[in-house]
Amino acid sequence: MSMMSTEAQELISLEGERKTQRNLTHSRIRWVMLGLLMLFGLVGGRLVQLGYANTDTDFSGEERDLITATRPAILDRNGLEMALDIRVPSLYAEPRRIIDVEEAVEKLTGVLPELDPEWLRKRLTGDQGFVWVARELTPLQKEKIFRLGIPGLDFRTESKRYYPASNEASHLLGTVNRDNQGISGFEMHLDNEDVALLQDLGLARDRTLEPVRMSVDLRVQHALTDELADSLVRYQATAAAGVIMNVKTGEVVAMASLPDFNPNEPATALEPYEGRKGARINRITAGTFELGSIFKTITLAAAIDSGVVKLTDSFDARFPVRFGRFSINDFHGKHTILTVPEIYKYSSNIGTIKIMQAFGAENYRSFLTRLGFDDPLTVELPETTRSNIPKKFSEVGAATASFGAGLATTPMHMVAALGALVNGGHYVPPTLYPRTEAEARALSRPVVSEATSAKTRYLLRLNALEGSGSRANKIAKGYRMGGKTGTAEKVIDGRYSKEKNLAIFASAFPLDAPQYAMVIMVDEAVAENERSGRTAGWNAGEMSGRVVQRIAPMLGILPDFDTNIDLALVPMELR
């Protein structure tokens, strides 16, 4: 062995180094392959995880952004909350993780009996990653479901709109859908402004938006709604509505229409009322009505402002006004020659027609346009409609329109017009936002002179002291209100009904320093008792008096029984 050559030893050594090198290389390759396998495994696992992950596009086609969107709180003019967002739990399921569908159905319907078992069974069966089961639950319901311990169920927190005053301002506020989007009323107006844009941009999620303040006074709103509800019982009326507006600013401080609905339960807006579908509309802005004799205020103001007719003028009201084979008479005819104030006080159709005829039918029609009756309502509600007034009056049409028949308008148009006639003669568009007098003046337009406005205030007060508004004035004594009644026969099957009427009272207070105008309607009222009637003075009039008696102190108006105040309203030519 010792005889092995040096060359042989070198060959053996080289072969050993090569073998060691190959082993090292193989080892490195195995480690690299193992690393790659681990890497691919991690990536593959993540891909599988992502593949099974819920993308939240599977819940009834709705978008997560909209579901979690918030809305600004709505406050009344004094800062009281009228609408706000609250956080509520909603239940969803991952059907692919439900182990025992029958057990889940049985347990869930035990907590949520309103769920249909068959619907729920289908809902929980399948391979979906997300389905809604029940939304807007109470905390107690959430706790009970949580204790069931059913795998595949979980909760998501959503924003829910809450209206603390419930029905009281429903037609003003409107409501929202389950995705917190406005679908009616002021809520829908906000979406049309900028709330919907903020939600679309994702800027309305999980953050507090600046509250929006309305012109409404929630205290006054409560008093008005309460009196309207009382009228449904007291006069067995089918509906009632009212609106109160600041005549200097155009701010609507209260507006209600009954029957109403609960905005916390939006579906109630569509429910029939006493078997009548569509009864829960907003009658103040979305309904048009023949408002009857309250239009005599418009006719007389128009004629007086033209200078053609003076308060000292007289008109022959002894005989009906004839148009061919038709004749128009007075409801309570005096059959004598009447002065202009007497025509107003006695609500003479004959005298009003003759005043309109002296003014001119075309001039009268133009005055209605000047007073805004042809304009669309600009108030911040989507539920509005236009008045229905013939573009051109026939001879008979002008005659009937002078006392409020044959033309239909919204109560909101009327309260804005009345406001212009008593505030010094400036038409101010109504609004649901707070507005200063300076801002209102910039938006206003003159429609009658200050002198005409003063004479209109006198006529309104005269009617409250001596005419059909006296019942209202007795109740609101001391607050210097004045107004005009209107009792319009309703059109039933194309004919005027002698049995059913719409009673209206249009008023303003305090007339020595006019601040508020109001229109109250009572639909199909019956006499309260054997001694009362069913014309407007007995219901809409008395109700207006009760409203003023309640709200005037809230609005900072003090009673004053000094008779010199009324004397000061009498124009110089009548003293």
Task: Supply φ then ψ for residue 322, to 5 degrees.
Answer: -105, 140
Rg of the chain over all Cα atoms, to the nearest angstrom: 37
282: closest CA among 182, 194, 175? 175
CA dist 446 and 378 (Å) reads: 18
Tell me the sheet residues that pair with 523: 239, 502
CA dist 342 and 462 (Å) reads: 9
- Which residues are known to be catalytic? 293
Three-state secondary-structure class, residue 482: strand
Show Cβ contacts of residue 349 under 8 Å, excluding neighbours closer than 6 positions. 293, 321, 328, 329, 330, 331, 403
DSSP state of 379: S
- Asked if residues 552 and 476 have their Cβ atoms less than 8 Å apart, the reply is yes
CA dist 19 and 25 (Å) reads: 10
552 HSE (CA, 13 A, CB side): 24
Show Cβ contacts of residue 361 under 8 Å, excluding neighbours closer than 6 positions. 393, 395, 398
- CA distances 58 to 66, 129, 256, Å, are 14, 7, 41
| List of long-range contacts for 49-58, beta carbons under 8 Å, 24+ apart | 52/129, 53/129, 54/94, 54/129, 54/130, 55/129, 56/130, 58/128, 58/129, 58/130, 58/131
DSSP state of 372: T
Residue 90 in tokens: 């909603």
* Residue with the two structure tokens 């739990």: 89
| List of long-range contacts for 145-148, beta carbons under 8 Å, 24+ apart | 145/91, 145/108, 145/111, 145/112, 148/107, 148/108, 148/111
Show Cβ contacts of residue 428 under 8 Å, excluding neighbours closer than 6 positions. 247, 248, 249, 250, 416, 419, 420, 440, 443, 444
